[in-house]
Amino acid sequence: MDINDPFSTALQAIHKELENIGQRASEIAGFSTSENAPSAGSLAESLIDINRSEQAVVTNLTVIKKLTELEDEVLRLNTVA
């Protein structure tokens, strides 16, 4: 198993979600400076999407942490063997 592939996949997913958070935050900032007040639904949708992206980032960081722990354990076992 190539341990780098899951790392790369998780990092790519984190990057995508952080871009989404940035885009949604920009939209919200635009709402506050716009003459056309956004609907409560538009703001709620943006905030829900940001929350979902944040959860996806945390999940992928957890995956990276677990992969790192597994890699460390494999290296330790190979050293002992």
**Residue 1 reports pLDDT greater than 50:** no
Would you list the domain boundaries of the chain?
Answer: 4-80
Higher pLDDT, 11 or 40: 11
Q: Measured between alpha carbons, how far is 75 from 48 in angstroms, rounded to an integer?
A: 41
Which carries the bigger pLDDT value, residue 2 or residue 24? 24
> What pLDDT sits at residue 2?
56
Q: Domain 4-80 belongs to what topology?
A: Methane Monooxygenase Hydroxylase; Chain G, domain 1 (1.20.58)
Alpha-carbon gap, residue 56 to 4, rounded angstroms: 20
Tens digits of per-residue pLDDT, 23-78? 999 888 876 665 666 778 888 899 999 999 999 999 999 999 999 999 999 999 99
State how far the Cα of 68 lies from the Cα of 36, in Å rounded to an integer: 48
pTM (two decimals): 0.77
